[in-house]
Amino acid sequence: VQLQAFGGGSVQPGGYLKISCASSEIALHDHTIGWFRQAPGKAREWITCISGSDGGTHYSDSVKGRFKISREKYKPEEVYVQINDLTPEDTAVYYCAAPKFWYIDCSELESDYEYWGQGTQVTVSS
């Protein structure tokens, strides 16, 4: 199963971006989707997730209040993350991931996710 992460780019500090995740093979509208990021020289970290079972959303402390994960209202097979007030520390490759079954709930552990996107680069610099 392939996921596609897209929407990254280069922005100035304080700017915003929307990154998205899509799949033609699994139904994202009711599937748990998690996002991770990996900054240069650092380990990959979990940042946010939306639950397939109840739609609940979860955020790491590093992004809470600036990132918002949602399902697209008119594109139910996409899950996006609105990223606001970007800082250079947000520079990373962002990955979306899904567990094997839609009902498996959100997790911060990479090992709980079966399917991964290829990543989309977000660069924040002035």
Taking only the tens place, the pLDDT of each residue in 41-59 is: 999 999 999 999 889 999 9
Residues facing residue 71 across a β-bridge: 79
Taking only the tens place, the pLDDT of each residue in 74-97 is: 777 899 999 999 999 999 999 999
* pLDDT for residue 7: 96
**66 Cβ partners below 8 Å, 6+ apart?**
83, 84, 85, 86
Handedness of CA 48, 111, 71, 37 (dihedral sign): positive
Taking only the tens place, the pLDDT of each residue in 16-32 is: 999 999 998 888 888 99
Tokens 């600036």, residue located: 66
The answer to whether 50 and 71 have CB atoms below 8 angstroms apart is yes
